[in-house]
Amino acid sequence: MKLNKDIIIAIDGHASCGKSTLAKQLASTLGYTYIDTGAMYRSVTLYAMQAGLITDHVHTQELINELNKIHIEFRYNAKLQKAETYLNGKNVEEQIRGMEVSDWVSPIAEIAEVRAHLVHLQQQMGKNKRIVMDGRDIGTVVFPQAELKLFLTASAQERARRRFLELKQKGQDVSFEQVLQNVEQRDRIDSTRAVSPLKPASDAIIIDNTNLNIEEQFAVAVSILSVRFGNGIDCLL
């Protein structure tokens, strides 16, 4: 699909509502780079866990002092045809998706200094446009000037159901109640935190996908793109 100009697509929304699925589909259709900012907050969380900076609480000041030691990058795995997250040179793609990291990532993402550090890196990654970035504050803070902002949402029950199936498929031993609790708790923390709370940008298009499957959601996004940035008939090819 070809657009009439290079753009930034910002996709924000609640936990486990299919942001990354849509972002990857759009990036691959447009030949753009996909950037998963949740993976960056998860990597900082994993670093803090491994460095002993999370005990029964987060050792905030120590973590802030170590931010410059945390190097995060995405490397494309040609075999798997997807980008994988590297923390200080080590592939952490699997580890950062586990329940332990999920349980601690919201308090880490509340730390203003952590956010400032990662937002700066994210802005660098979008310097030349042609990116699809997903997260919680992309349309509001990271790229308030993004040409297209989508805000995805779905009911907490439906999001927990999808996440539960995904974790089960990966062989993780979790109950549905645990996953639902984690989703609800993250919603609460993400939406009420003082710094960059999760909320739709005033110019975002809101898509509730509770009753949409992956293909239907993609079709909605493609029609928005073609109306806004279409090149006549070419853009759908």
The minimum distance between CB 143 and ligand DC, in angstroms, equals 11
Helices 214-229, 19-30: axis angle to 10 degrees equals 50
Question: Is position 187 an interface residue for ligand DC (rule: CB under 6 A)?
Answer: no
In sequence order, what E strands does the chain have?
8-13, 33-36, 72-77, 82-87, 90-91, 131-135, 148-153, 205-208
Over the window 7 to 46, marking each residue x when it contacts ligand DC by CB under 6 A and - when it does not, the resulting string is: --------x---------------------xx--xx----
DSSP 53: -
201: contact with ligand DC by CB under 6 A: no
Neighbours of 65 (CB within 10 A): 12
Give the SS3 label for residue 146.
coil
Tokens of residue 84, six digits = 């994988």
CB under 6 A: which stretch of 73-81, 85-93, 101-109, 163-171 binds ligand DC? Answer: 101-109
106 binds ligand DC (CB under 6 A): yes
Closer residue to ligand DC (CB): 149 or 186: 186
Minimum Å distance from CB 200 to ligand DC? 14
For residues 146 and 27, give the distance between their C-alpha atoms in angstroms, rounded to a whole number. 15
Please list the helix, strand and coil fractions of the chain in percent, rounded to the nearest 5, in that order: 50, 20, 30
Instruction: Determine if 126 is a binding residue for ligand DC (CB under 6 A).
Output: no
Structure tokens at 65: 């002092």
Cβ of residue 36: shortest distance to ligand DC, in angstroms? 7
From residue 134 to residue 173, what is the string marking binding to ligand DC with x (rule CB under 6 A)? -xxx------------------------------------
User: Smaller CB distance to ligand DC: residue 84 or 231?
Assistant: 84
- Measured CA to CA, the distance from residue 133 to residue 130 in angstroms comes to 10
Judged by the rule CB under 6 A, the positions of this chain that interact with ligand DC are: 15, 37-38, 41-42, 105-106, 109, 135-137, 186, 190
